[in-house]
Amino acid sequence: MKTSIGLVRSGRGRILVLLVTALLGCGMAVVPATPAAAVSDCSLDPYGCQTPKCGSDQDAGCNESLYLHNGTVQHNPRIYLIFWGSGWNSGPDSGYPAYLANEVFGKLRGTAFNNILTQYSDASGPVNNDAVLGGYDVDTSTAAPGVFLESYVNPEIDREVAKKSWPATDDTQFIVFPQPGTDQSQLTVCGRHYMRSLGASGTAAWVASSKSDCDGSESGLSGIALHEYAEAATDPQGLDASWLPTNVHGWATDDPHNDPVEVADKCEGWSYESGSTYTVTQPLLWSPAVNACTIMHGKDYPTSDPGWSYHTVYGAILAGDRFGPWRADQRGALDRLRPGVDLRRYQLRRKPLR
Ligand SMILES: [Zn+2]
């Protein structure tokens, strides 16, 4: 459960903080063994490898390695997105839930970006590059609260699990997005992930959509959500000692111990933007292979995604508009996907975060 992490300046100039989560589930997907990555992870993309900024709330942990704190990882993450409130069905955000679900989380698997997470294991094995979108829902059956509190998240997940009959295991992630325009001023960070309540399987996370110091743009929301996803996959126990005094959790640095620096936290301040219908922010993640923050590990490889046999995260995201026009500002991302394509073709402009 980490809390926030990087300040990011969005294209709209807003500042935000991110977090991530993840999950898994059973899987259907059969993914080939992950190709060994290599030293070329950084040489392939000079903008995609960065050293931690060591600023902000990550100061204490930025020079420390991540290690497993007697916890576990999610081996086959399965993600469910819950967009809470009818506000997601109207206005400029109305197409966003489907886009974030299908074009981003639905196409993570097999990507070199998601492959970064395969470097994190527990006694039973690594996080596999086979993340699956379990489903998503715009929930209008329970009125969205006028003042959104973190304590509303787990009950909302419980209601959705019951309503949709969504299965949950330890590999399952639920990410809740309160509708834009509601009062989210009581939240202390822009996103957070943690375990579901006692007796419930999987992880919970939320992403602020209307908090003044967070990036509530579509781009910002994706960045926070991917941050929480990656961290929940590698540190599903999370750890917020103020909530749950325990030393058992997943991959993080040791300090500050009550707010561990996790795989995305360590790279706070670095991200990429891509996408077409909506801009998507990808947080750089810590990669032990190159001892740096990176956006990829190895290359993409075929997956069982229907319709898309090869993709990168960029490609996957862009694939949603594969046959549509490219945004003028996305130079470098102009090549259409094709098997075996070099990731450099999808390099997009670097997004400095602060
Ligand atoms: Zn985090």
Whether 316 is in a domain gets the answer yes
Q: How far is the CA of 16 from the centre of ligand 1 (A)?
A: 12
What average pLDDT does the segment 165-188 reach?
96
Residue 125 lies in a domain: yes
| Selected residue with higher pLDDT from 176 and 345 | 176
The answer to whether 10 and 281 have CB atoms below 8 angstroms apart is yes
Nearest CA among 270, 279, 234 for reference residue 66: 234
Local confidence band at 239 (pLDDT 50, 70, 90 cut-offs): low
Specify the pLDDT at position 43: 66
| 262 CA distance to ligand 1 middle (Å) | 6
In a domain, 94, yes or no: yes
Q: How confident is the model at residue 105 (pLDDT cuts 50, 70, 90)?
A: very high
Q: How far is the CA of 95 from the centre of ligand 1 (A)?
A: 26
Residue 54 lies in a domain: yes
159 CA distance to ligand 1 centroid (A)?
26
The whole-number average pLDDT for the span 80-97 is 92
Find the 141 Cα to ligand 1 centroid distance in Å.
30
CB neighbour list of residue 66: distance below 8 Å, 6 or more residues apart: 120, 234, 251, 252, 253, 261, 262, 263, 266, 286, 288
Residue 148 covered by a domain: yes
Quote the ligand 1 centre to 260 CA distance (angstroms): 8
| 1 in a structural domain | no
Model confidence at 16, pLDDT cuts 50, 70, 90, reads: very low
| Residue 28 predicted with pLDDT over 60 | no
Average pLDDT over residues 75-81: 97
* pLDDT at residue 335 in the model: 29
The amino acid at 292: A
CA of residue 210 to ligand 1 center, whole Å: 19
pLDDT band at 311 (very low <50, low <70, confident <90, very high): very low
Cα–ligand 1 centroid distance for 320 (angstroms): 27
Kindly report the average pLDDT of the chain as a whole number: 73
Range of the domain at 258: 7-352
CA 303 to centroid of ligand 1, rounded, Å: 27
Please report which confidence band the pLDDT of residue 272 belongs to, taking 50, 70 and 90 as the band edges: confident
Note whether residue 223 is domain-resident. yes
**Ligand 1 centroid to 266 CA: how many Å?**
8
Mean pLDDT of 298-308: 55
241 part of a folded domain: yes
Q: State the pLDDT at residue 37.
A: 46
Residue 16: both structure tokens together: 């935000």
**Cα(331) to centroid(ligand 1), Å:** 29
Angstrom CA distances, 233 to 126, 194, 298, stand at: 10, 11, 19
Rounded to two decimals, the pTM is 0.77
What's the 310 CA to ligand 1 centre distance in angstroms? Answer: 28
Q: How far is the CA of 294 from the centre of ligand 1 (A)?
A: 15
- Listed ranges 16-20, 24-28, 292-296, 331-335; the one with the highest mean pLDDT: 292-296
Percent of the chain whose predicted confidence (pLDDT) is above 70: 64
Burial tier of 261 (Cβ tally within 10 Å: 0-12, 13-18, 19+): buried
Amino acid 202: pLDDT: 95
The pLDDT of residue 91 is 82
Q: How many domains does the chain have?
A: 1
* Residue 238 Cα to ligand 1 middle (Å): 9
